Structure 1
Amino acid sequence: MSAAVTPAARVERWFFPLLPNSRIAVLRAAIYLFVVVDVLVMVNDVVPKASAPAEFYTPVALARLIHLPAPQENVVLALRAALVIGALVAATNRLPRLLGWPIAVGHLIWVLYGMSYGKVDHDHLALVVALFVLPTVGRSHPHDHRADERAGWALRCIQLAVVATYTLSVWAKIRYGGWDWPSGATLMWAVERRGTFLGEHLVHVPELLVLAQWVTVAAELAAPLVLVLRGRALGLAVGFYLSFHLITYAAISIHFLPLVVCWLAFAPLEKIGQRLETRPVSLRRGHLARRAAAGQAVAVVGHEAVQPVPDPAERRDA
């Protein structure tokens, strides 16, 4: 009779689930490729800000905590180049720790500079966490499907950061806007300021915008439930939140792409590696079958062996 699982063991198993290394390999490639996009497209104003007078630099709390000085143009230019080159190499799953840690620190500095001039985007929380936990896993490969607690812990941290982004967003909304945020004209103001073709039509239905505000708050409060869902229910929940971001972008041009990319931590990415494994075998079998159909000798062994099809003339002679 097996011993009962203690609560402490359940907690440990939840924080350190056994998940395949191949999932980390695919996620690592996606995250590091997005770092290039983030530096060059999403937070692409750090260099211009560095050329502004130093008095415009108002460091956020974390930047003040680590005594991050005002950016200098030459420094951030070098940092940008290092991040882009390092992330492209790291996306190939090479040197996961040697490149991973400097990229995590460098990207954090880059984001802190980008957010220290008056505008803070909370969609980068999960991405920053992902960059700091991925190096802890070490080497991984898309074809390495061995279960590993290190992979599970890293993925769980990213999942928690994704969920925390939503719950902390509600806290910020109510803290600074009060309950007028969901019940007032918040989206109406957003549509008028940065609305799209869809948003301009929604302006004529203000009741729908107020309903959307309450749905937003409810969805963000319900985000922690994703952590306990499995299978089809989890897939539907992830699809709901991704659809939420798509509609938000269609209405007011806010994309949350850094957060959206980190939703991959909930996906069975190891299936990509499994498909890559089976594809060369299928291609090889098809090639051998074509050669056999042409009556050519096929020198193979094992389960890929294919008997050549005899020439029709040879059949008649026989």
Structure 2
Amino acid sequence: MSASTGTAGGGSAVPGAPGRGRWSRWPEPVPLARIAVFRTIAYLFIPVDVFLTTAWVRAHAAVPTEYYQPVLVGQWLPLPTPTSTVVHVVQWALVAAAVAAATGRAPRLLGTAVFLLYFEWMVIAMSYGKVDHDRFAFLVALAVLPTIGRARWRDRRPSEAAGWAMAVVLLAVMLTYFLAAWAKMRFGGWDWASGSTLAWAVLRRGTDLATWTLEVPGLLLAAQWVMLVLEFAAPLMLLVRSDRARVALAAFLLGFHLMTFAGVMIIFLPHCVAILSLVPWERVPEAGRRLGSRIGIGERAQVQPAGPAPPD
């Protein structure tokens, strides 16, 4: 009779059982330490987002309420009209809840509060004009993190609940790219790929690292087609299973966004935070020790055994 290995999420895995290989079960359980680290990163990013990257949201406190045109979900739900009091209360309550949630205490209660407050913060942000698509995956991450419960940085127990949560975030990351391509075709048609989309972006916002591309015939046009093809191919991301492949995918996606920022000063920080959910954070200490041993850091000095005293 084979022994079974329990998981923190309540399931079990039977080593060697048929049909239970890496590709037969999705999503796979992930260590709780991965959740603990990612949850800390996500919650600590919120004050940065509120006060730096989307500091303009609190300016809506001074906007007359008649300009408030809630997005569709804001029309469905009985959300308050963003008066000055509402905006400031949501802002400070969100920051306080996020900082408290980053400690790991009361993860379900505080995590749910963070999600609801950030959801309202985004409704306030996007109900006066342009709706940004870079918030979707991050908002989904905030929604699923409270479902896991307690998780500690050194807790390497596999959890099925954690596996499902990270799979949902990956799905949201994938849909962000795929639906972006669909939106390009819906609103811009094939002219988006065959026109001067990137050239216009470089002319408006280009840095010295990007302006040279305007002098290379066909380069930006080819880049538009490559972007469109890659975005439509985003569902292939769901085939990534191994930790090494996840790290490679995260590095590729983050590298793309950093390159975009270097070229046209546009970066989707909340989406980049969601991408960090792909990283197997529980292996970082082990990888650090392995790297340190390769470069000679942390090696113990070898002490020669004591011998007889030399003659006078």
**Taking structure 2 as the reference length, what is the TM-score of the superposition?**
0.83
For structure 2, the 5+ residue unaligned runs are 2-15, 291-297
Larger radius of gyration between Structure 1 and Structure 2: 1
Alignment-derived partner of residue 192 in structure 2:
181
In 2, distance between residues paired with 1:32 and 1:276? 24
1:145 to 156, 161, 177: 156
Contact 1:143–1:274 under 8 Å retained in 2: no
Alignment-derived partner of residue 265 in structure 2:
253
In 1, distance between residues paired with 2:115 and 2:259? 31
Aligned residue for 2:140, secondary structure, equals helix
Q: 1:238 to 1:60 in 2, by over 3 A?
A: same
Q: 1:109 to 1:177 in 2, by over 3 A?
A: same
The letter for the 2-side match of 1:41 is: L
The letter for the 2-side match of 1:254 is: I
Identical residues among aligned pairs (%): 45
Aligned residue for 2:210, secondary structure, equals helix
1:32 to 43, 49, 52: 43
For structure 1, the 5+ residue unaligned runs are 279-285, 294-308
In 2, distance between residues paired with 1:159 and 1:61? 24
Give the structure with the larger helix fraction. 1
**C-alpha deviations, 1:232-257, integer Å up to 9, x for none?**
44433332222211221122211011
Alignment-derived partner of residue 141 in structure 2:
130
1:227 to 216, 226, 238: 238
Alignment-derived partner of residue 271 in structure 1:
283
How much does 1:275 deviate? Answer: 7.2
Aligned residue for 2:224, secondary structure, equals helix
| Stretch of structure 1 that moved more, 131-140 or 223-232 | 223-232
Alignment-derived partner of residue 182 in structure 2:
171
**C-alpha deviations, 1:168-216, integer Å up to 9, x for none?**
1011111000110011011112222222222322222351111111111
In 2, distance between residues paired with 1:139 and 1:3? 30
| Stretch of structure 1 that moved more, 85-94 or 29-38 | 85-94
Matched, 1:107 2:107: no
How much does 1:95 deviate? Answer: 1.5
> Aligned pair count?
286
In 2, distance between residues paired with 1:230 and 1:248? 27
Alignment-derived partner of residue 116 in structure 1:
127
Matches within 5 A, 1:236-315: 236-272=248-284
In 1, distance between residues paired with 2:240 and 2:287? 25
